[in-house]
Amino acid sequence: MANISLYELDGTIDPLDKVIGTDGTTGADQGKTKNFSISGLGAYINALGVETVSTTDGTFINLTPNSQTIGDVVITADLSATGTPSSSTFLRGDNTWAVPSGLGDSTTYTLASGQPIASYVNINLSHIDEDDVTLLGVNTVRLVAGTNITLADNGSNQITISAASGIDGSGTATYIPEWADSDTLTDSFLKTDGTALSDGADLIMLWDSSTDADAFEFKVSALTRLQVQSSTVSVKNSNLVVTDGDIYSEGFVQAGTSTDTPDVANVGAIRYRSDANNSYQEMVMQTGASTYEWVIIKQNTW
């Protein structure tokens, strides 16, 4: 008759505690009752390893295997990024291997000058895609020549900006015909027939007919005579005074019909006048201590 043993319940497990089992091997001891220590049983279970593994893919991470697997399982983790990783790509925030902006296209910038027509010169900034030799665009700064200024491109990215050699006022109001000096106007001189007039105490005044005013004044100390050939000198609302010099003409000097009152200011003045049957050549002369008159030098009657 078999013995039935009763065992008390023990809530504390010690490595030296025993469990009861049978020998499952074939032979004489098959089915024989044995006991096993808790520590021995744990070592046996650890030696067998994990029986099943389940994995789940994470964000941007793929795990293999990705289904429940038994046996000696090796788990492999790979990035799920698209594109091709290389030395010229980076992993972008959207899980893509991408080329950094600006590295995909090689662009050359060229700065050059050009002169389509004489009145202006262009400074051009061109950018070209070297990969397919495509002109991506041209930005241009244009230099425009102003009055009495010329621009010239020498073809080697050098632009010459030049001022006119003289101020040529041909056909333009208020312009003096020519300033011969290339420096400042203070060093310039007025040219006549190739001879420069010298600076001095005397003045030459040019009258501006549009404003009835003396527009320009030039000091001339070396002027000893005023010589006019094939032309006319007109003085408006003023006197032509020559001090210590001569008025010379290869033609004639013509006196007008002055109506000025004779006085000390115009003594020596001459005039010509006529009436119905007479003509007179007269001169202002002093006729008393404080009196002056137009005196008839010559009278013709017909």
pLDDT higher than 90, residue 7: no
Which is more confidently placed, 73 or 264?
264
Q: Give me the amino acid identity at 184.
A: T
Please check whether residue 153 is in contact with residue 161, taking contact to mean a CB–CB distance below 8 angstroms.
Answer: no
Place of tokens 């000696």: 72
pLDDT for residue 210: 56
**DSSP string computed for 92-142:** -TTSBEEPPTTTSS-EEEEEEEEEEETTEEEEEEEEEETTTTEEEEEEEEE
Q: How many residues appear in the chain?
A: 302
pLDDT higher than 80, residue 23: no
Question: What is the distance between the alpha carbons of residues 17 and 289, in angstroms, rounded to a whole number?
Answer: 167
**Sign (positive/negative) of CA torsion 13, 17, 19, 24?**
positive
Q: What is the pLDDT of residues 230-260, one digit of tens each?
A: 556 665 556 666 666 777 777 778 888 888 9
| Burial zone of 49 (CB within 10 Å; 0-12 exposed, 13-18 middle, 19+ buried) | exposed
The model carries a pTM of 0.30
pLDDT for residue 301: 95
Please check whether residue 140 is in contact with residue 127, taking contact to mean a CB–CB distance below 8 angstroms.
Answer: no
pLDDT higher than 60, residue 92: yes
End-to-end CA gap in the chain: 198
pLDDT for residue 104: 54
pLDDT for residue 232: 62
Please check whether residue 216 is in contact with residue 209, taking contact to mean a CB–CB distance below 8 angstroms.
Answer: no
Helix (H, G, I), strand (E, B) or coil at 281: strand
Question: What is the distance between the alpha carbons of residues 153 and 112, in angstroms, rounded to a whole number?
Answer: 10
Which is more confidently placed, 129 or 273?
273
Which is more confidently placed, 207 or 264?
264
Among 204, 208, 209, smallest CA distance to 226 is for 204
pLDDT higher than 90, residue 289: yes
Across the chain, what does the average pLDDT equal?
76
pLDDT for residue 207: 54
- Give the lowest-confidence range in 115-124, 159-168, 190-199, 233-242: 190-199
Helix (H, G, I), strand (E, B) or coil at 234: coil
CA distances from 226 to 222, 251, 269 (A): 11, 13, 19
pLDDT higher than 90, residue 26: no
Which is more confidently placed, 277 or 216?
277
